[in-house]
A and B are shown apart, each in its own frame.
Chain A
Amino acid sequence: MIAVEHERLAGFATDSWAAAVEAAIRSLDPAVVIFAGTTSGRDLAPRLAARFGAPLVANAIAIAGTAGAIVATRPVLGGRVQSDVTATGDLVFLSIGPGAYEKATATGATASVTSLDVDLSRTCRIGFAYWAWPPADSGGGASLANTDVVVAGGRGLKEAANFALVEELASKLGGAVAASRAVVDAGWRPHHEQIGQTGKTVAPKLYIAVGISGAVQHNVGMQGSELIVAINRDPDAPIFKIASFGIVGDLFEVLPELTRQLS
């Protein structure tokens, strides 16, 4: 593997990172280049694909095919349909969906690390302004993007003040608070906490859905989670179809008890 170490690569910045990755691609001449489904990966992938005049399939959840004709599967129509996209050419770019693949574990083998020197003196340090904004995203609690535990609340909480129950459980588990679109639209929670098609996509180890019915637009934003626990009063709520564990009951009884048991 190649390490590209440079002071201009400290923290993500589009221009310098794109130059570093471009140099790595030119040096290795790969047939396929794959980016993570992170904000930075999604920023770099189309940029590099354009530089090489090569096709890009974004948000892949499965990769097959042969050299020269890669077949990538990606969810469309909010995840209700999966589409196989064939990308042809000597060089193909892919980005993968968050949580689409299991994390690799140590194999005992160790790859050799070589360093690649890249001249980044003409790149600029302007990265994403929005990494630091809005500041509320990083204030308090764990950040949604990097946490192992997410506790999400929905309309079942009845009013904004009751989110305190969600916050207590999240803080007990060292996790982040998230919200469904319904409660963000109602102004109970800020938009940066919204999970789903018009919000964030997360894939934590544990996702606890509290008072969320589980509309497909919500589920596409969290169905990659390793373990999904749903708490809902309605036994027919669609969230139970994708939940690993379901608790049918009154969240105003279940949540405080859960938090108490964890104390």
Chain B
Amino acid sequence: MSNGTLIVAESHDGKLRPASLELVTAGLAAKQAVGGSLNACLPGAGIAAAASELADSASMA
């Protein structure tokens, strides 16, 4: 059984791209529809700062 919602976030030059925060809102809408948890995937190099900004933006698993 599959579970939850996954958003694919993006960073640019070590910063979280603004579109990723729109994705969080869309992800919360999808989570409401399908249940389960909201998770995010952030690929990149040198992404620690972007990852923590994204982690602060919503309660995710």
Contacts and interface: CB of A to CB of B under 8 A. Distances in A.
Contacts of A103: 18, 21-22, 24-25
B55 A1 contact: yes
A2 B34 contact: no
Contacts of A38: 10, 17, 19
A242 interface: no
Interface residues of B, number: 49
Interface string A96-115: 10111111111101111100
6 contacts: A2-B41, A3-B48, A5-B47, A6-B43, A36-B19, A109-B56
Interface residues of A, number: 61
Contacts of A100: 22, 26
Contacts of B17: 36, 38, 146
Interface in A54-79: 60, 62-67, 70-71
Contacts, number: 193
A1 B55 CA distance: 7
Interface of A: 1-10, 12, 16-17, 20-21, 24-25, 28-38, 40-41, 44, 60, 62-67, 70-71, 90-91, 94, 96, 98-107, 109-113, 116, 146
Given A28-B6, A29-B2, A34-B8, A6 B59 contact: no
A25 B6 contact: yes
A10 B33 contact: no
Nearest to A61: B26
A109 B59 contact: yes
A40 B11 CA distance: 11
A36 B10 contact: yes
A28 B33 contact: no
Contact of A107 (B7, B18, B35, B58): B58
A2 B7 CA distance: 10
A32 B58 contact: no
Contact of A34 (B27, B47, B59): B27
A1 B25 CA distance: 15
